[in-house]
Structure 1
Amino acid sequence: MTNSKLLEQFRSFYFRNFPDDMETQINYFSIFGGLGWDVDTSKPLTQLIEELILQNFDTLNEKIEQLTLNEPNNKRLLSALAVGDRKIFSAFKRAGLNNGNGGGALNYLQEKGIVQIEYSRESEANKISKHRISHKVLFTYPFIRFWFYFIYPHIREIKEKNYNKLFKSIQNKQNSYTSLVFEELSEVLLNYNLRDAQIISSGSYWDANMEIDILTVTDKMEIYVAECKWTNHRVNKSELHKLEEKCLKLGIKPFQIILFSKRGFSNELKSMQSKDLALYSSDNFEALLKNALNSTLIKSFIN
């Protein structure tokens, strides 16, 4: 299912700030997306985090507390979802919650539009013994995930104006953090390119043994599988082989394999492009801005 709200936010961020390239757009959007503020993307991220977030910490923290009712269970669950594997049951465990109070917190966060459920596509027939299918959770606004990924764990130090551990954490984990937003946007781009087809199922796939970043099925039963790599090196042929092995184990024959990469691909992999293999780098995300030249600036969660 195409995430139309994320697409609206992505377009709104671009037409508000006009970053120089799509890598910058994705990097900065993953942090400030949904905040609805002007962001000078010519400045380094660390400088903007200090100017826009840390210098406005009290205002933003007050809004977060309003959104969460300042309820510890809500905030612990959001933190667990932000840094974990997004699976509901493991997030409950990480947050120290049970199915009762964890379920109550999750229901509230859904009702407030802070998160949405990504339902497992593993069929009951494929369940292994004693394996409990767990759905996953996506954040509606990238900024709120950023807050609970980086800010919330260091909130005491931040209140004391001590930012050293925060910036060290951002330096070490930024690519890992951005990977999920890149994956979500990659699904949006794939489905945009398949807009003439009728998509009957789309999203990530996971079961007890494996995960695939994107698995999309059309009404013609054409299967598209994709992996997304937000790293500072070019993707090579080994990533293709890994995805092919996953498809073989899952018993599916993809109509097309797609690889998404922050920094492009090896020459060997580029030479293999065909109707069976598509390669997308950051620059290709400009396609999401087409037919949106008059995109309105949407309201943020703090309005």
Structure 2
Amino acid sequence: MAKYPTLLEQFRSFCFQNNANDLEEAIRYFSVFGGMGWSVDLSRPLDELIEEKILKNYRYIHGDIAKITQSNQTHHALLSAIAIGDRREHSAFRRADVTRAEGEASINFLIDNGLLIRDKSQDQPVDEKEVVSDKLFFIAPFMRFWFSSISPYYKGIKEGNFTEVKERWSHLQHEFTDLIYEQLVRELIKKSFTEDRVEKIGSYWDKNSEIEILARTKSGKIIAGSCKYSKSKANKSELTKLKEKCSDAQIHADIFVIFSKNGFSSEFKKEKGEGLKLFTLKHLRVLMEDLGPKDLLVNTNKKY
């Protein structure tokens, strides 16, 4: 049994607690406030809520987080590095300017104290000598938001000057939900393969390439997938690129999965079948089905 709630459990709790109906809006607000158990009025502008609930309560929230991190500068530097970087452990060490020994000790502390979890590549790289660094997920989406967009700008925030943090968020927010979408797509894939259930799912990466979704079913079939978040519809080139990545990694996929937030070209839709599954935003609604009091997580965080 997992020690901490999964992202899907947190998402369903957030949606039930805040009466979410619009999936896209729910994900956008969840990427900022998820995992804290706070009530959020989804009818109000997100930027307005960030200022009211987070920026104006900075001192109190910072104090609560500092109790977990013990106000350790290495912990804070690494958390920010992971929040704004590629999530790879070793690149976070470089970005935070800490030694490997310091970094590993800090990461272990942050995992033990419920801020991070490891994300391991689902396969070994072609080059057996290559060392693949683990990646790291924040358990609570809010903590990723805090260490990417709030904590680095603490000086201005403490003085009541929110200009810098608002400018930073205006540039970051358009891609900020991508990671949440990728995690939820993993959950969608698990729900979609019912007859031959998914037993392992994650991502694949090495120093040259990355496959966003890589899974193995009970029967041993390999599923490889990619996610597209742009406003344009995905076409057959998305599948071509995915197949090339698999070829480079010497991964022989049985089924390809493409998630495109805004749908697919008519030509590409004709390609779907047993070996190609196409998912759009509407398919993620299955993750919000049958919400009820049973989904509400008990949360002891202070409410803001």
Q: Do they fold alike, i.e. is TM over 0.5?
A: yes
Residues in 2 aligned to 1:78 and 1:299: alpha-carbon distance in whole angstroms: 25
1:266 Cα deviation after fit:
2.5
SS for the counterpart of 1:216 is strand
SS for the counterpart of 2:155 is helix
Residues in 1 aligned to 2:220 and 2:123: alpha-carbon distance in whole angstroms: 17
> Which residue in 2 is equivalent to 1:127?
127
Residues in 2 aligned to 1:37 and 1:4: alpha-carbon distance in whole angstroms: 16
The 5 Å alignment of 1:109-148 reads 109-123=110-124, 126-127=126-127, 129=129, 131-148=130-147
SS for the counterpart of 1:55 is helix
> Which residue in 2 is equivalent to 1:288?
287
1:292 Cα deviation after fit:
4.1
Residues in 1 aligned to 2:15 and 2:152: alpha-carbon distance in whole angstroms: 29
The one-character-per-residue Cα deviations of 1:220-270 (angstroms, maximum 9, x if unpaired) are 121111111233333233222111111222333322211112222233323
> Which residue in 1 is equivalent to 2:208?
209
Residues in 1 aligned to 2:285 and 2:208: alpha-carbon distance in whole angstroms: 35
Residues in 2 aligned to 1:270 and 1:155: alpha-carbon distance in whole angstroms: 48
The 5 Å alignment of 1:10-21 reads 10-21=11-22
> Residue type of the partner of 2:176?
Y
Alpha carbons 2:122, 2:214 under 8 Å: kept: no
> Which residue in 2 is equivalent to 1:173?
172
> Which residue in 2 is equivalent to 1:107?
108
The one-character-per-residue Cα deviations of 1:141-169 (angstroms, maximum 9, x if unpaired) are 00000101111121111112222222222
Give me the CA root mean square deviation.
2.0
1:14–1:39 CA distance, 2 compared to 1 (3 A): same
Q: Which moved more, 1:250-259 or 1:139-148?
A: 250-259
> Which residue in 2 is equivalent to 1:160?
159
> Residue type of the partner of 1:232?
K
SS for the counterpart of 1:295 is helix
Q: Which moved more, 1:159-168 or 1:36-45?
A: 159-168
Q: Which moved more, 1:160-169 or 1:109-118?
A: 160-169
1:48–1:236 CA distance, 2 compared to 1 (3 A): farther
1:34 Cα deviation after fit:
0.5
Residues in 2 aligned to 1:165 and 1:265: alpha-carbon distance in whole angstroms: 38
SS for the counterpart of 1:40 is coil
Alpha carbons 1:215, 1:226 under 8 Å: kept: yes
Residues in 2 aligned to 1:72 and 1:213: alpha-carbon distance in whole angstroms: 32
Question: Percent same amino acid at aligned positions?
Answer: 37
Residues in 2 aligned to 1:66 and 1:8: alpha-carbon distance in whole angstroms: 25
5+ residue gaps, structure 2, are none
1:187 Cα deviation after fit:
0.6
1:50 Cα deviation after fit:
1.1
Residues in 1 aligned to 2:276 and 2:196: alpha-carbon distance in whole angstroms: 18
- In the alignment of these two chains, the number of paired residues is 300
The 5 Å alignment of 1:36-115 reads 36-115=37-116
> Which residue in 2 is equivalent to 1:259?
258
Alpha carbons 1:7, 1:188 under 8 Å: kept: yes
The one-character-per-residue Cα deviations of 1:187-215 (angstroms, maximum 9, x if unpaired) are 11111222443433210100122100010
Alpha carbons 1:21, 1:283 under 8 Å: kept: no
1:116–1:251 CA distance, 2 compared to 1 (3 A): same
The one-character-per-residue Cα deviations of 1:81-119 (angstroms, maximum 9, x if unpaired) are 111111111111111111211111111101111101112
Q: Which moved more, 1:135-144 or 1:198-207?
A: 198-207
SS for the counterpart of 2:13 is helix
> Residue type of the partner of 1:140?
I
Residues in 1 aligned to 2:15 and 2:283: alpha-carbon distance in whole angstroms: 15
5+ residue gaps, structure 1, are none
> Residue type of the partner of 2:127?
K
1:198–1:237 CA distance, 2 compared to 1 (3 A): closer
> Residue type of the partner of 2:253?
P
Residues in 2 aligned to 1:142 and 1:164: alpha-carbon distance in whole angstroms: 23
Residues in 1 aligned to 2:300 and 2:269: alpha-carbon distance in whole angstroms: 41
SS for the counterpart of 1:145 is helix
> Which residue in 2 is equivalent to 1:250?
249
Alpha carbons 1:122, 1:207 under 8 Å: kept: no
SS for the counterpart of 1:156 is helix
Residues in 2 aligned to 1:226 and 1:178: alpha-carbon distance in whole angstroms: 18
> Which residue in 1 is equivalent to 2:182?
183
1:236–1:52 CA distance, 2 compared to 1 (3 A): farther
Residues in 2 aligned to 1:152 and 1:301: alpha-carbon distance in whole angstroms: 22
